[in-house]
Structure 1
Amino acid sequence: MEQKIMELQPRLTEHFMKLTEAGKLSHAYLFAGPAGSGKAELALFVAQAVFCTGRKDGMPCGKCSECRRIADHSFPDVVEVAPDGASIKVDQIRFLKAEFSKSGVEGTRKIFIISAAEKMTVSAANSLLKFLEEPSGDVCAFLLTENASLILPTVISRCQEFELQSPGFDELMERLEHEGISRDRASLLLGVTGSLNLALELSGDDEFAAMSADVWEWFRLIMTNDLRAFVNVTTHLKQYFSDRSEQDMLLDLVVLLVRDVMLLKFEDNGRTSFAMHRDELRAFSEKISAQRACRATELVLDSKKLQAVNVSFQNILETLTLKLVSCYHE
């Protein structure tokens, strides 16, 4: 973990190494940045730097019991909170506040990490304000968010805010290739997620590989005006309908495919996600109008809106299949 966050955020890791070595950590920080920028990794890195028994010049060793347990999310003096369902509720913040008042189990300090802090309810955010205004004890809180504009200004004003930037596409590609992942495969992984860690996780996920292949076969049938694509929804894709996260991933893959067609329509050298099928996608893009390519993208985005209001996912995908065939071929 130490090496990854130092590569992702070299200046910030150095900054916090100096602060922990000097004992000058503030009581609250807000890390704002997109997925893949290393917000959680940086917070855990600081926690390791605070509790590490083998720290040298602010750098945690990563090997002692404290460092390993923090990395495994099992160290008692590092308390983590994440959304319970769609939001972080006031009871979760009350739990944090109760922890604030307790002494450290293995040391004098306690660290609190609140993931997706923008998902705190108003009541939860207001409940947190008292601690931020009047911190008690030797504690430090890290609020992590992808969208600081959704957090109460009163909360932000009581934290030291840092904007974290994600590494660029080319840099992420290079890192994935360094891990032994082919360039074509890396393009798809980064199309689905801009996060290096998530891309690495997905690279070893057999179900993701199977889903990607099945979604491609379904789309290939649509490109060839083959109505067996409609049957394919039941025979192949339905196995991915049971879980909302799988549904999201499936639709994301469809978005990437129609986007690839549109990109190749306007830019022959456009960066495609399904790079392994680039030639077929390019040949198809040459057969359709720019208007149809754009319309297909709108249809898929409309399907995502229907999913958000809990329309039957099978109905969504079957209807989308027919609409895409019509859009591309009639």
Structure 2
Amino acid sequence: MEIKDIQPQLYKQFSTILQHGKLSHAYLFSGGFGSFELAIWLSQALFCENPENALPCGHCRSCRLVAQQEFTDLHIVEPDGQTIKTAQIRELTQVFNESGYEGNQQVLLIKEAEKMHPNAANALLKSIEEPETEIVVFLLTDNENMILQTIKSRTQIINFPKNVQYLQDFLEKNGILKTQAELLAEICNSTDKALELAQQSWFNEGLQRLQQFVKLLKTSADEAFLYLKELVEIFDDKEKQNQAFELLLQLFNQERMSQELLKTFQAIKMWKSNVRFESSLTFLVL
């Protein structure tokens, strides 16, 4: 997957930025579709041994190591469990007081940046505000609203719209049925997540049951109510239940069931307020 195919407009925008030498020292990439790929591509540009019009060649030793996430001066941080801990950031800020191993340039790439502990975010601020060495920071998030305002105000925020058609085409090329690819393209923010779901037996079984549930809602509320146990059985944890609601929204939209679509939004609010999954689904039937 190449960034110019995933996010063609952002590829063009950042190509121009690189060619004019105007890359900022800190970015917040908001929206997961292609953000990691762009950050890696920009890192390649910074470390490339044989740049072509300021763009990475993609073939030199540095470009290959960056693509493999094994380049010494590329530091990638992701959550340790549910959070990015303060110690993870402080350890790196000490590294940034020194020049890189390969040269002066270093890159810090933080995945799921919204999961930074507030103390970790504050520890990062100094490196962003007063970098003592040549460092570029990429913060990646699917939830910009959970990023501290002090961090946001010190970064350039770039939004990553989802390229639904690209994702659907990618899934179909990887053997996913068209109808399933359409749904996955709507509910997933990355090719990796979409493929992962498509390969899960529970997901495929769950999708079939949701499609049956939607059919029953159109013909018999009583039968739909009795069928709820089939859904509760397979969507048995929070993550799966979230996927169920996302799929229901798409299925109701496809069937132009506007009343059920609106009720699903209300059911999601109930579920997020700790109403049981089964009770939230019951609201759709009543």
Say if 1:318 and 1:79 are closer, same or farther in 2 by CA, change over 3 A: same
Q: 1:157 aligns with which of 153, 156, 178?
A: 153
Q: 8 Å contact 1:78–1:112 — kept in the other structure?
A: yes
Partner of 2:266: 298
| Contact 1:218-1:229 at 8 Å conserved across structures | no
Question: Hey, what does 1:130 align to over in structure 2?
Answer: 126
CA contact (8 A) 2:26 2:136 kept: yes
User: What displacement does 1:97 show?
Assistant: 0.5
Residue 140 of structure 1: SS of its match in structure 2?
strand
TM-score, scaled relative to structure 2: 0.78
Counterpart code for 2:255: L
* Counterpart Cα distance in 1 of 2:231 and 2:188: 26
Which whole-Å CA distance do the structure 1 matches of 2:261 and 2:20 have between them? 58
Quote how far apart the aligned CAs of 1:74 are: 1.9
- Which residue does the alignment assign to 1:183? 178
TM-score by length of 1: 0.69
- The range that moved more, 96-105 or 140-149, is 140-149
In structure 2, the partner of 1:260 is: 251
How big is each residue's C-alpha offset from its partner over 1:254-293, in whole Å with a ceiling of 9 and x where there is no partner?
A: 54236624662546xxxxxxxxxxxxxxxxxxxxxx4x67
Q: What is the CA–CA distance in structure 2 between the aligned matches of 1:179 and 1:215, rounded to whole Å?
A: 19
Instruction: Please report how far the alpha carbon of residue 63 of structure 1 lies from its aligned counterpart in structure 2 after TM superposition.
Output: 3.2
In structure 1, the residue matched to 2:44 is 48
- In structure 2, the partner of 1:248 is 239
1:90 aligns with 2:97: no
Which residue in the other structure is 2:23 paired with? 25
Aligned residues: 279
Distance verdict in 2 for CA 1:199–1:126, change over 3 Å:
same
Change beyond 3 A, Cα 1:15–1:320: closer
Distance 1:190 1:140, change over 3 A: same
Q: Which runs of 5+ in 2 are unaligned?
A: none
Which residue number in structure 2 is paired with residue 216 of structure 1?
208
Distance across 1 between alignment mates of 2:178 and 2:7: 24
Distance 1:221 1:264 in 2: 13
Structure 1 unaligned residues grouped into runs of 5+: 268-289, 308-315
Structure 1 position 24, deviation (Å): 4.8
Aligned: 1:107 with 2:99: no
Q: Max radius of gyration: which structure? A: 1
Q: Deviations over 1:192-215 (max 9, x none)?
A: 314344324444x2x2x4432245
How far does the alpha carbon of each residue in 1:16-73 deviate from its partner, in whole angstroms, 9 at most, with x for none?
A: 44554565533222222x231x221111101111222343223323333322322222
Select the residue among 32, 52, 55 that pairs with 1:35: 32
Q: Which amino acid letter does the alignment assign opposite residue 216 of structure 1?
A: Q
Amino acid at match of 1:173: Q
Question: CA distance change for structure 1 residues 64 and 221 in 2, over 3 Å: closer, same or farther?
Answer: same
CA-CA distance at 1:100 after TM superposition? 0.8
Match of 2:193 among 175, 195, 198: 198
8 Å CA contact retained: 1:29, 1:161: yes
- Closer/same/farther in 2, CA of residues 72 and 188 from structure 1, 3 Å limit: same
Kindly provide the CA deviation profile for residues 132-186 of structure 1, in whole angstroms up to 9, marking residues without a partner as x. Answer: 221111221112233444433433333333333222x345434444555432121
The 1:211–1:9 alpha-carbon spacing in structure 2 relative to 1, beyond 3 Å, is: closer
More off after superposition, 39-48 vs 59-68: 59-68
Q: Give the Cα–Cα distance (whole angstroms) in 1 for the partners of residues 205 and 12 of structure 2.
A: 42
CA offset digits 1:227-258 (Å, max 9, x no partner): 47537755xx2xx74xx6xx413441254236
Structure-2 separation of matches of 1:91 and 1:31: 23
Give the aligned partner of residue 280 of structure 1: none
Question: Equivalents in 2 of 1:252, 1:218: separation in Å?
Answer: 11
- Looking at structure 1, the residues matched to 192 and 148 of structure 2 have their Cα atoms a distance apart, in angstroms, of 29
SS at match of 2:76: strand
